[in-house]
Homo-oligomer: A and B are copies of this chain.
């Protein structure tokens, strides 16, 4: 962005590089660990589990596709495919939204509810083992703050803001 074309934001200094390399490592390894455990124990991917979990907390266990996509950080096409699969497994059902006939609602079925209840404890153990229990209480808070800051940059539309802020005092049973 600079006239001399190269040294506006030169590179990362050592400390920044340290942090970045580690973040990349986590980015690369953590999803695999989460998927593996949930696939093995509950036959769902982490993203599928997350979709089910979000629905399980929503009023009437129902959410419009667009809202569900925002809550799960997914694009609409991706979500659509995933919900199709979940629907074929009777974990979720779709039905047209009465107020807006363009829109579709996704609702968790009883089987889907059961799936979340069954999968949740094992998933929680994995999350603790690989992340939470590795950190001090202080670091957990720091991670939340860092996540806030980064998500504010990542989420173009600021869609999360409202969603994430509500975790400042909230009931249990969530991913």
Q: Residues on A close to B: CB < 8 A?
A: 1, 6, 8-12, 14-31, 33, 47, 50, 72-74, 120-121, 124-125, 127-135, 137, 139-155, 160, 164, 167-170, 172-175
Contacts and interface: CB of A to CB of B under 8 A. Distances in A.
Q: How many copies does the complex hold?
A: 2
A120 B12 CA distance: 11
A170 B125 CA distance: 37
A146 B149 contact: no
B150 A18 contact: no
A143 B24 CA distance: 11
B15 A137 contact: yes
Contacts of A15: 137, 140-141, 144
Given A12-B128, A15-B141, A24-B73, 10 more contacts: A9-B125, A15-B144, A22-B151, A27-B31, A28-B47, A29-B151, A30-B150, A129-B153, A135-B149, A146-B146
B73 A28 contact: yes
B22 A154 contact: no
Contacts of A175: 20-21, 24
Nearest to A10: B124
Contact of A154 (B16, B17, B33, B170): B33
Pairs of residues from A and B, 8 with the lowest C-beta to C-beta distance, nearest first: A22-B147, A28-B73, A19-B144, A134-B149, A19-B143, A29-B154, A142-B142, A18-B144
12 contacts: A15-B144, A18-B144, A22-B151, A24-B73, A24-B175, A26-B154, A129-B153, A130-B150, A139-B145, A139-B149, A142-B143, A143-B146
